[in-house]
Structure 1
Amino acid sequence: MTTTVVLADDHPIFRDGLHRTLDEAEGFKVLAAGASAEEAIALVGTHQPDIAILDLSMPGGGLQATRQIAAMANPPFIAILTVSENSSDVADTLEAGATGYIVKGVTGSELISSLRSIAAGEGFVSPGLASRVLRAMSNDSGTSKDSEALQDLTHREEEILRRVAKGMSNREIAEELNLQEKTVKHYMTAILSKLHARNRVEAALIAHDAWSKQE
């Protein structure tokens, strides 16, 4: 199955390199590339890709593009690819509707692996940023409130969430717990509902926050 992509970055050399990396990767096809938020929004509307990869600091702003793309009738998964490691940027883009946040400087193989997780709807935040995002979210009363819902999780749901918090994919969790991948997805739906989380990244942050306080 081919994952279609629209990408937007205002640095031509980086944009062209990213384009080549995706073209050479198995299972990805770049449909179009732009250099601004305005172009990104238009290209997504025209091509209806599976993933939109957006630079945060491009003209018009990646955050604004994320908000508008996420509000479309049938939005793609949104991956932010940026140099910023600012925790507020991560929190803001996830709140706006991004599924993943990738810091530039990753290897090609790491990027492809991250995008595969995002394409599966599993979400991704670059390693090392989670703790900073947790601190940024600590002032959000909803985080502490939702963390109380962890007590409502079944033993199996907690097992799965602990692995999600470690960055494991549904497939990896299924293999480790000897479950069907679709069963893990079913559990994740229940977990997100109980935690009032928009996606698995937010669920992982809620869990990480609560469990770290217990240690």
Structure 2
Amino acid sequence: MTIKVILADDHPIFRDGLVASIEETGEFEVAGVGETAADAIRLAEEHRPDLALLDLSMPGGGISAAKTIVRAGTAKHVAMLTVSEEDGDVMEALNAGVAGYLLKGVSADELRRILKRVASGEAHITPSLAAQVLKLMQAAKSAEPNPIDTLSKREEDILRRVARGLSNREIATELKLQEKTVKHYMTEILSKLHARNRVEAAIIAHEAWRDQV
């Protein structure tokens, strides 16, 4: 099944190359292209894509566009493609509901692989930024008891596999569960950990269990 994408970036040469890279294998269809936050919001409303891929620093702001799109539900998922490695930008994007935060140095193959996962409901943050996000999360939650201790044995089993990078389907196969059952457990895990997505849950797991995951 083709994944419908809209994208917005204010650099025409980069944008054209991005469209070519995304559509190269036929797995994606770029349904609309823009260069501003207003364009992104309009395109999402018009095409109702599986994924909105936004530039952070385009006119009007990618995060502003992401907030509007997520709030309106006009794209199933939103990902940010940017050069920014600033802590504030990463956290603001996650707070806006962005499911993917990718740096523009990523290869075309890796980009398509990540976008497929984000479009299927997985979350992704560039690994080099994970430590920064963890520090910010620790600072915000340092005064709170560790919620990971509230997980059941089954929830812990699932979270350890999330921390290893397994998808819901892979976890279901490994634990001999139905995929919808794993999704239900993930909802409970995210709630207990006060995590917005799988990325945050995996980071919390790595910090709590260190080399045990």
- TM-score higher than 0.5 here? yes
- Tell me: CA distance 1:132–1:9, structure 2 relative to 1, closer, same or farther (3 Å): same
- 1:10 matched to 2:10? The reply is yes
Q: Please identify runs of 4+ aligned residues in structure 1 that moved more than 6 A.
A: none
- Tell me: CA distance 1:176–1:109, structure 2 relative to 1, closer, same or farther (3 Å): farther
Name 1:55's counterpart in structure 2. Answer: 55
Amino acid in the other structure paired with 1:33:
V
Name 1:191's counterpart in structure 2. Answer: 189
Shift of 1:114: 0.7
Name 2:19's counterpart in structure 1. Answer: 19
Structure 2: which 5+ residue stretches go unaligned? none
Name 1:208's counterpart in structure 2. Answer: 206
Name 2:86's counterpart in structure 1. Answer: 86
1:61-91 C-alpha deviation (Å, 9 max, x unpaired): 1111111111114443110011112232111
Name 2:166's counterpart in structure 1. Answer: 168
Q: Secondary structure at the match of 1:101?
A: strand
Contact 2:195 2:201 (8 Å CA) reproduced: yes
For 2:191 and 2:9, the matched residues in 1 are separated by 35
- Tell me: CA distance 1:144–1:160, structure 2 relative to 1, closer, same or farther (3 Å): farther
Contact 2:49 2:74 (8 Å CA) reproduced: no
Q: Secondary structure at the match of 2:4?
A: strand
Name 2:133's counterpart in structure 1. Answer: 133
For 1:165 and 1:176, the matched residues in 2 are separated by 14
Contact 1:6 1:40 (8 Å CA) reproduced: yes
For 2:50 and 2:186, the matched residues in 1 are separated by 21
Q: Secondary structure at the match of 2:146?
A: helix
Shift of 1:196: 2.7
Amino acid in the other structure paired with 1:164:
V
Shift of 1:152: 1.6
RMSD: 2.3
TM-score (norm 1): 0.89
Contact 1:88 1:133 (8 Å CA) reproduced: no
For 1:59 and 1:166, the matched residues in 2 are separated by 37
Q: Secondary structure at the match of 1:129?
A: helix
Contact 1:80 1:101 (8 Å CA) reproduced: yes
Name 2:110's counterpart in structure 1. Answer: 110
* Aligned sequence identity (%): 55
Amino acid in the other structure paired with 1:132:
Q
Name 2:147's counterpart in structure 1. Answer: 149
Shift of 1:96: 0.9
Amino acid in the other structure paired with 2:2:
T
Q: How many residues align?
A: 213
Greater shift in the superposed pair: 114-123 or 19-28: 19-28
TM-score (norm 2): 0.90
Shift of 1:95: 0.5
